[in-house]
Structure 1
Amino acid sequence: MTSPTPVPFSEPPYLSGLPSPYYTESHRRWQKKCRAFIEENLLQHAMEWEREETVPDHVFTTFAKANMLIPALPAPLPVEWLKKVGVDDILGQPVEEWDYFYNCIYTDEMLRSGLAGPSGSLTTGIAFGVPPIIKFGNRQLQERFLPELLTGCKRSCIAITEPDAGSDVANIKTTAVKSADGKKYIINGTKKWITNGIWTDWSSMAVRTGGPGAGGLSMLVVPLKGYPGVTMRRLKVQGQISAGTTFIELDEVEVPVENLIGEEGMGMSFNHERLTIAIGATRQARVALGAAFEYCLKREAFGKTLMEQPVVRHRLSKCGALLESQWAWVEQFVYQMTRLSKAEADVELGGLTAAAKAHAGIVLNECAQCAVLLFGGNGYTRSGKGEIAERLYREVPGNKIPGGSEDVMLDLAIRQLVKNYKNKTKMLDRPRGSSKL
């Protein structure tokens, strides 16, 4: 059970008794219901399932029946489609009243174990694989796929990354060529590091339908599990093991041209994925720092507790400042998402979201490293008191790399800010030959 007095840094300020301008009474009521559901059906078994490297199938079914996969979708929710498939509310919260703070609460609660694998095994597919169909798919595409995806009868994933194209999405080589009769796309290529891929029925896949560069990329709904020409195998990765990281080979895979998402050459957006990673990584940093703080109150060395050592307090303080600053930035982003249209958010927040995602990885690295050092030998051991610190330190790269690697994200942030600034200041440009000050 949660202590009535949280360990410092172990909970967001709004859950530690401090006032917040962001969370309404409705948000707070739903957070309590959300926490109770996730604790019962996920968190109490998360470490066990991560050790076993898989989450039992019945857990996905439990979440699907309770509509608790839907919160992984970006707000506002696809109300028309949800109503059509019989989803009116999520733990009592009407879907039409859903805003991005519910998404934030959900993501934060799902990561309270500190482990991204168990939660990622359930939500990554619907969080990132289904939105392209909702936002850009035409009516026939939505009617064919959304009913079973939204109700959890079928599973999805986002299949972008390849052996030679990670953050460099424009270098994707998997091809989709139309058949002679124009009725099918013939797909050939490989996808690598695809989370949830091994369980996926229908993926939203980036393919090359045109020439080189980003302008030649399109998105298709591509069947995976048991489909002719598709071969899949799980990859052994450093962290987030139970999330089902997958290598996919596509050999003359045929899909109808009606499976095109949007239009050819339309490309894709990663803002929801990056903000979700930023929220989750910040909670993981909180778990690491909270565990270290609690340990330092009890562990004795040199005749006193670790917390009585100035150097220990200094480490905790530096990491705490980073953590709470990052969380304040995350909440600011979420608030802005509730006030801007999607078109405005894509322009104004695209670059900054990349920076926030990158910085979340930096903060997690600092907090996880701090936890390992303060746990000492226990933090270097894959069992016992410091197991959570050891595992969290191995999960750091799983936040720094996916969704765009750290250095690429930091560079993208500045390039986007420069682009926006130039677009907004064009009116200040003087025509050639004009006088200068």
Structure 2
Amino acid sequence: MAVPIPFSDPSWLMGLPSAHFNDSHRKWHAAIRPFIQKHLIERSIEWDKSETLPEHVFADFAAANMLIPALPAPLPVAWLKRLGVHELLGGLKVEEFDYLHSLIFADEMARAGVAGPSASLTTGMAFGVPPILKFGSRQLQERFLPDLLLARKRSCIAITESDAGSDVAGITTTAVKSSDGKHYIVNGTKKWITNGIWADYSSMAVRTGPPGSGAAGLSMLVVPLKGYPGVTMRRLKVGGQVSAGTTFIELDEVRVPVKNLIGEEGMGMRYVMTNFNHERLSIAVGVTRQARVALSAAFEYVMKREAFGRPLMDQPVVRHRLAKAGALLESQWAWVEQFAFQMTRMAKDDADRELGGLTGLLKAQAGIVLRECADTAVILFGGNGYTRSGQGELVEMIYREVPGARIPGGSEDVLLDLAVRQLVKLFQAKTKALDQSPRI
């Protein structure tokens, strides 16, 4: 067995003790790594360069119920058992799946180093299905969840517009009830929608309130996409994650049944922001793994690359670069692990309240760490790191994906500000509650 390259795996996978992971987590990891390696990682770079995964890849993951782990923990146990899914790969019972199992899944799915292949498989299940699970009526769930949970149909989350990204309250896509009250007539556009081009349905944020109603005028609908009258979709060419199916969606007089409303009218902003917590944590896990792939590749390269008659690793400046990036990487991973562990110990409402702002900070920091690790790797690879082939092609691909880590799911600067504002708000609420508590 080969000795692992430093920084190539989290410490708990490098033989060191862990306070977080138990036998169930280790068994889960041992079961899914070979599956993901065989069905995704081995050809991820090839598929990302061709910009689309073959259709059979999604089918292979669906057949093995290997898209279900992209859902937030705990899983919808009652629904899954009703659909005949009692266990996941390796015999993990669906009721035993926790956020550390979710962390392991997200980390393994990102192990190729490029985000597109994994995103093309999991984004719909991870972010499109949860609003229906959490807030949809029973009839809405009955109509959509069987096909979505078993991946017979594909979904996406459709929030962002050309002029409304991190500013969710600025959404202008309208949904106005028809004269007979049976349909919403949806008009507008959605942009940078991951997986949209392949999706049968979207969980879409729309404006049901009047212009100027801001966050209070937002709602969420399940909007049919692929082949639906009035819906036009086209792929967008983006700098990274090129196989993830980034899509521009035009909606022209699209008639959506009123019964496709998710939850209540006017509650869309709350639903979107709650959904962001799982999205941002998932992004943080995957991005941290990308940073790990870049840095460990650089570490391996400078061990064998010679310059001025000796290996690059003999140069103090090289070791200094690796040390700085490595400290950031392992600190970030420790925070990610801490988050996942806390999620296993907290009720959903408590976690949303206590960790919501910090989740944004965690996601923003992941992008900052990836930037440092990718930059370090490119510099140490030299010309090879700037070339789209050969020894440094993966490092070059990861470097192009840095903006895709810092912008989607909430832009970095917005999340840094949001995190502090949320912490202030939480502090003030707790202080007020304490001041109003009866004195003894």
TM range, smaller chain: over 0.9
SS at match of 1:19: coil
Give the Cα–Cα distance (whole angstroms) in 2 for the partners of residues 214 and 293 of structure 1.
47
Give the Cα–Cα distance (whole angstroms) in 2 for the partners of residues 305 and 198 of structure 1.
47
Post-superposition offset of 1:32: 1.0
- Aligned 1:16-95 pairs, distance under 5 A: 16-91=14-89, 92-95=91-94
Post-superposition offset of 1:106: 0.3
SS at match of 1:378: helix
Alignment-mate amino acid for residue 168 of structure 1: D
Give the Cα–Cα distance (whole angstroms) in 2 for the partners of residues 248 and 33 of structure 1.
38
Alignment-mate amino acid for residue 49 of structure 1: W
Query: Are the equivalent residues in 2 in contact too, given 1:378–1:386 (CA < 8 A)?
Result: yes
- Matched length: 428
> In structure 2, what is the equivalent of residue 401 of structure 1?
407
Give the Cα–Cα distance (whole angstroms) in 2 for the partners of residues 239 and 33 of structure 1.
30
Post-superposition offset of 1:427: 4.8
Alignment-mate amino acid for residue 319 of structure 2: R
**Residue 377 (str. 1) matches residue 383 (str. 2):** yes
> In structure 1, what is the equivalent of residue 233 of structure 2?
232
Alignment-mate amino acid for residue 35 of structure 2: F
SS at match of 1:177: strand
> In structure 2, what is the equivalent of residue 320 of structure 1?
326
> In structure 1, what is the equivalent of residue 162 of structure 2?
163
- Aligned 1:424-435 pairs, distance under 5 A: 424-427=430-433
> In structure 2, what is the equivalent of residue 435 of structure 1?
none
The TM-score normalised by the length of structure 1 is 0.97
> In structure 2, what is the equivalent of residue 299 of structure 1?
305
> In structure 1, what is the equivalent of residue 222 of structure 2?
221
Give the Cα–Cα distance (whole angstroms) in 2 for the partners of residues 423 and 150 of structure 1.
38
> In structure 2, what is the equivalent of residue 414 of structure 1?
420
Post-superposition offset of 1:4: 4.0
SS at match of 1:322: helix
Post-superposition offset of 1:127: 0.4
SS at match of 1:239: coil
Percent pairwise identity: 72
- Aligned 1:4-15 pairs, distance under 5 A: 4-15=2-13
> In structure 2, what is the equivalent of residue 331 of structure 1?
337
SS at match of 1:243: coil
Alignment-mate amino acid for residue 12 of structure 1: P
Q: Deviations over 1:75-126 (max 9, x none)?
A: 0000111111111111121101110011100000000000100011000011
Give the Cα–Cα distance (whole angstroms) in 1 for the partners of residues 341 and 266 of structure 2.
32
Query: Are the equivalent residues in 2 in contact too, given 1:5–1:16 (CA < 8 A)?
Result: no
Alignment-mate amino acid for residue 66 of structure 1: A
> In structure 2, what is the equivalent of residue 258 of structure 1?
259
Alignment-mate amino acid for residue 26 of structure 2: R
Query: Are the equivalent residues in 2 in contact too, given 1:292–1:374 (CA < 8 A)?
Result: yes
Give the Cα–Cα distance (whole angstroms) in 1 for the partners of residues 427 and 13 of structure 2.
37
Q: Deviations over 1:258-285 (max 9, x none)?
A: 0000101112221000000000000000
Give the Cα–Cα distance (whole angstroms) in 2 for the partners of residues 78 and 429 of structure 1.
39
The list of structure 1 runs, each at least 4 consecutive aligned residues, that deviate by more than 2 angstroms after superposition, is: 427-430
> In structure 2, what is the equivalent of residue 434 of structure 1?
none
The TM-score normalised by the length of structure 2 is 0.96
Post-superposition offset of 1:428: 5.8
Query: Are the equivalent residues in 2 in contact too, given 1:67–1:90 (CA < 8 A)?
Result: yes
Residue from 284, 292, 296 that aligns with 2:290: 284
Give the Cα–Cα distance (whole angstroms) in 2 for the partners of residues 382 and 401 of structure 1.
23
Unaligned runs of 5+ in 1: 431-437
Alignment-mate amino acid for residue 235 of structure 1: L
- Aligned 1:78-227 pairs, distance under 5 A: 78-91=76-89, 92-211=91-210, 212-227=213-228
The CA RMSD measured in Å over matched residues stands at 0.9
Query: Are the equivalent residues in 2 in contact too, given 1:156–1:203 (CA < 8 A)?
Result: yes
Give the Cα–Cα distance (whole angstroms) in 2 for the partners of residues 387 and 84 of structure 1.
46
> In structure 2, what is the equivalent of residue 433 of structure 1?
none
